[in-house]
Amino acid sequence: MPKKHLQGMVTSDKMQNTVVVAVEKMKVHPLYEKRMRRHAKYKAHNLIGAKQGDSVVIEESRPLSKDKKWIVVEILKAEKNFQKKE
């Protein structure tokens, strides 16, 4: 069975070797057929140096900790001068 891959943006890199990746999916409502945005956050093991604001690809893996079950595989777009909205 192939491993799942997801694409998202790094929202936090404050932990050691871990980043939080926000993944946005589009879903169609079954009755009204309206497209809806759905968000999910995943904690991923980061050994390639992804920073906050980067667009990354994550791959599922064995559980590395209680919440961490994904690994950062590739940095698609490195964001320079990322400003977090507060």
Is residue 84 scored above 70 in pLDDT? no
CB distance 68 to 44 below 8 Å: yes
Looking at residue 2, the DSSP 8-state letter turns out to be P
8 closest CA partner among 36, 48, 42: 42
Looking at the domain that runs over 5-77, which CATH code has it been given?
Answer: 2.40.50.140
Helix (H) or strand (E) run with residue 57 in it: strand 55-60
Phi, psi of 71 (to 5 degrees): -130, 135
Is pTM beyond 0.75 here? yes
Span 17-43, pLDDT tens digits: 999 999 999 999 999 999 999 999 999
